[in-house]
Amino acid sequence: MSPQRRQNWRFVGVVGGLFGTILLALYPIAIQPYLDSSEWKTTQQHTRKSIVQEEVQPGGMRVWSDPFERKKR
């Protein structure tokens, strides 16, 4: 292999490694919660257990809803 070709493969390896590292870091932050929201639902139920919605909600506004619930048609 020529030196130029070896440099190209090194560049591809570095860019691919950087891209892979970014994806690996983003998976537990953005991708996994999007694919499986059940853990976040239980966390919200636990943290909102002691909150009375009528006391917190300003007048005339709708009460909190489940952000993971599908929209009804």
Distance CA 41, CA 34 (A): 12
For the chain, the structural domain boundaries read 1-40
pLDDT in tens, 53-62: 777 777 777 7
The pair of three-digit structure tokens given for residue 60, joined into one six-digit string: 């005339």
- Looking at residue 4, what is its pLDDT? 78
pLDDT band at 1 (very low <50, low <70, confident <90, very high): low
pLDDT in tens, 11-35: 999 999 999 999 999 999 988 888 8
Distance CA 39, CA 33 (A): 8
Residue 70 C-beta-side C-alpha neighbours within 13 Å: 2
